[in-house]
Chains A and B, each alone.
Chain A
């Protein structure tokens, strides 16, 4: 069994490294 995920929201996407679109 895994530990529970963190109780705080994950950070927003990094501003200068957006996911590349195909």
Chain B
């Protein structure tokens, strides 16, 4: 059958920072073609196509609760694939090779993770599944 694309509305203006992205104006209605786990969604708007941050989109058909996983407080072990230095207060700074636990996989690509006793946000695209918890 035909593929029915989900329509989302831009909640704020977005300036693109690379060629494969698509700029948005608040209120733009986009069709989502592909949802990447890392928080970039491939969208189309009229004759334009490109990647858009999921955090800038809200669903037209009510809340997206069905898609978002519940937090898993037990944690799921991941390894840090790429270092990142926190910019916001609620983010974590980690080094490549660190082992952490993912507690909540958010659709915007910023996952809640735990390292030792500290929790914070970290980019999902810099994490790789698997590994042993450091003790």
B-binding residues in A (CB < 8 A): 2-14, 16-22
Contact = CB atoms under 8 A, between A and B. Distances in A.
A3 B88 contact: no
Given A14-B56, A19-B11, A9 B125 contact: yes
A17 B12 CA distance: 6
Main secondary structure of the interface of A (DSSP, over half): loop
B55 interface: yes
A16 B125 CA distance: 25
Main secondary structure of the interface of B (DSSP, over half): mixed
Contact of B63 (A8, A16, A22): A22
A17 B53 contact: no
Contacts of B20: 3-6
Given A2-B33, A5-B40, A19 B58 contact: yes
B119 interface: no
A10 B111 CA distance: 12
Given A2-B34, A5-B36, A10 B53 contact: yes
- The 5 A-B pairs at the shortest CB distance, nearest first, are namely A9-B123, A10-B53, A5-B40, A13-B55, A14-B12
Contact of B55 (A7, A11, A20, A22): A11
A2 B110 CA distance: 23
Nearest to A15: B12
B55 A8 contact: no
Contacts of B17: 6, 8
A6 B21 CA distance: 7
